[in-house]
Amino acid sequence: MRSEFGSLFSKNLKDLIQKDGRSPSTIAKLAGVNKSTVHNWINGVSPSGIEGAEKLAKFFNTSVAELVGKARLNVEIKISGDPLGVFEVKIEKKLKTDLAK
């Protein structure tokens, strides 16, 4: 069953697999997930259980929440200064919903 959730999960998984450079079957084997399950997820079928998603998240060193498309907040800190020791710190918050960026 294809859903908005499945589509977002699928997109994030495709991005991570592409970034990794190995085949979906290889990643499934290394992560301990059934390769047909991974192929279904890539094609937009929503995950039916959390265990496989947890294994893939661990493999990709991310969280299940990020893998399934929950937004994450990145903080960028810029420090600039002059030779006299006067510094300015600028903190920017960026809402990130795409894992590939």
8-state DSSP, 85: S
Q: How far apart are the C-alpha atoms of 96 and 65, rounded to whole Å?
A: 12
Chain-centroid distance of CA 78 in Å reads 25
What is the reported pLDDT for 30?
94
First to last CA, the chain: 28
Q: What does the pLDDT look like over 36-54, one tens digit per residue? A: 989 988 888 766 677 888 8
Domains and their CATH numbers in the chain = 4-67 (1.10.260.40)
Q: Where is pLDDT greater, at 31 or 77?
A: 31
- Both tokens of 36, joined, read 């047909």
Q: How many CB atoms lie within 10 A of CB 6?
A: 19
pLDDT value at 15 more than 80: yes
Kindly indicate the confidence band of residue 98, based on its pLDDT and cuts at 50, 70 and 90: very low
- Within 10 angstroms of residue 2's Cβ, the number of other Cβ atoms is 11
Instruction: Supply the pLDDT for residue 28.
Output: 94
